[in-house]
Structure 1
Amino acid sequence: MKIFKWLLVVIVLVVIVAVVVAWTMPADVAYRYMASRLGPVSLVGVRGTVWDGHADGVSVFGRDLGELDWKVEKAPLLLRSVHADLRIRGADIDTSGMLKRDADGNINASDVRFRVPASLFSPALDLPSLRLLGTVSGTFKNLSLVDGLVANASGDARWSDAGVSGSAEARFSDILAEFSSKPDRSIAGTVADDGKGNLAVDGFFSITATGFNAEAFLAARNNDQRVQEALRYIGEPQADGSSHLIINGQLFPVF
């Protein structure tokens, strides 16, 4: 009986120590153990705790995104679920949102707000003669991944101060996009201008696990010479002076 009592005491002490260690574990110690499981994500200057921490730098596929702050809720861990509030802030990137990972491995992100330079999308659009100007901002109202595939997603984006430089120089009005998930677990959306500028845009796009494709018709309003010149380097010229743009590619070039 005494052995049983002593064993029980040891087990309780071990549990208490484990809880204290986990509750106060420095973030840099946890990162050293977890770094090999983060794939293309790399952190530097990690400090704070696993519950409330900061990294001076976070990079994805070798691209530096800025500083990372996180807060992890403790209570959901009792149900083997992780709820984390994340924010990435860089010189020209600002992204924040709530990320949840359930016990079954499924991931859900909500109210994800982002702001990135339009030039980030230049490699994916494959327009070597032009550099995209302005900022793309928007919101993922929700994004769910089941078995690594999109199960539910919706959101919108706005390309503000839109324009191009390089072989041609032109400024456009804002360009808007709306998107949502489809039953086949792809994401589909529409693209259009806000009607206030001299570039008319009417298009659509879809994103799958293997890549994306987009198609749009672009035209100059009011015979704008700068826009007409820029359209010479975008897509296939049409008989009416518009341009037909078709893009098929991978998402990885964005990073």
Structure 2
Amino acid sequence: MKLFKWLFALLILIVVIAGAVAWTLPADVAYRYVATRLGPISLVGVRGTVWSGHADGVSVFGRDLGELDWQVEKLPLFARRVHADLRIRGADIVTSGLVERDADGRITAHDVRFRVPASLMSPVLDVPSLKLLGTITGTFAKVSLYEGLISDANGTARWSEAGVTGTAEARFSDILADFASKPDGSIAGTVADDGKGNLEVNGQFRMTAAGFEVEAFLAARNDDPRVQDALRYVGQPQPDGSSHLVITGQLFKLF
């Protein structure tokens, strides 16, 4: 009987030690174990714990996004769920949001807010003679990912202080976008100007895991000569003086 008592006491001690180690596990130690499973995501300067930590740099496909901070709630883990508050701060990129992973593998993000320079979208537009100016900000109120399909997504975005520089110079009013997920797992939305400037925009877009499609009609409101000049380098000219812009591509171009 004493042997069983000693074994039981030893088992309890092991559980307590294992729990204490897990509760205070250094983030850099944990990262070494999972780094190979993060795919294109890599971290540098990892410190803190797995529950509350910081990385001096996070990159995706080799593109540096900035510093990463995270807070992970402990209690949901007992139900095999992960709740984390993630924040990325870079020189020109800022994003934050709450991320949950359920026991069935579904990942859901809430209140995701982002701010990126419009120049980040230049590879998508693929007009080397023009550089995009301004800042794009937006919010995903919610988005879920399960077995490769996106669902429950909805949000908005705004291109502020919009403009182009390069072969042509022009400033536009803010460009607005609304988007939501579709039953096939894609995200679709509309894009339009706010009506306060001299660039008129009306379009729609669709994004999938395979790529994206954008179609828009652009026109110079009030016959603005700078906007008319800029539109000569974007899309196909139309008989009424507008430009028909069609873009298709791969999302990895952003990185």
Quick one: which amino acid aligns to residue 10 of structure 1?
A: L
Task: Find out whether 1:74 has 2:68 as its counterpart.
Answer: no
State the shift of 1:22 in Å.
Answer: 0.6
Quick one: which amino acid aligns to residue 161 of structure 1?
A: E
Equivalent residue, structure 2, for 1:211: 211
Secondary structure of 1:180's counterpart equals: strand
Name the CA distance, whole Å, in 2 between partners of 1:44 and 1:110.
26
Quick one: which amino acid aligns to residue 60 of structure 1?
A: V
Equivalent residue, structure 2, for 1:242: 242
Name the CA distance, whole Å, in 2 between partners of 1:103 and 1:8.
30
Equivalent residue, structure 2, for 1:55: 55
Quick one: which amino acid aligns to residue 146 of structure 1?
A: Y
Matches within 5 A, 1:89-238: 89-238=89-238
Secondary structure of 1:195's counterpart equals: coil
State the shift of 1:93 in Å.
Answer: 0.7
Deviations 1:139-193 (A, max 9, x none): 0000100112102200000000000111111000000000001111111000000
Deviations 1:6-63 (A, max 9, x none): 2211111111011100111111111111111111111111111111111111100000
Secondary structure of 1:222's counterpart equals: helix
Name the CA distance, whole Å, in 2 between partners of 1:15 and 1:27.
21
State the shift of 1:3 in Å.
Answer: 2.2
Quick one: which amino acid aligns to residue 104 of structure 2?
A: D
State the shift of 1:4 in Å.
Answer: 1.9
Name the CA distance, whole Å, in 2 between partners of 1:121 and 1:8.
61
Moved over 4 A (4+): none
Q: What TM-score, normalized by structure 1, do the two folds share?
A: 0.99
- What's the Cα RMSD here? 0.7
Q: What TM-score, normalized by structure 2, do the two folds share?
A: 0.99
Name the CA distance, whole Å, in 1 between partners of 2:67 and 2:116.
14
Equivalent residue, structure 2, for 1:3: 3
**1:153 and 1:180 in contact (8 A); partners too:** yes
Name the CA distance, whole Å, in 2 between partners of 1:49 and 1:199.
50
**1:152 and 1:185 in contact (8 A); partners too:** no
Secondary structure of 1:7's counterpart equals: helix
Name the CA distance, whole Å, in 2 between partners of 1:156 and 1:125.
20
Equivalent residue, structure 2, for 1:87: 87
Secondary structure of 2:239's counterpart equals: coil
Name the CA distance, whole Å, in 2 between partners of 1:37 and 1:170.
45
Equivalent residue, structure 1, for 2:26: 26
Name the CA distance, whole Å, in 2 between partners of 1:7 and 1:216.
72
State the shift of 1:129 in Å.
Answer: 1.6
Identity %: 73
How many residue pairs end up in the alignment?
Answer: 255
**1:42 and 1:58 in contact (8 A); partners too:** yes
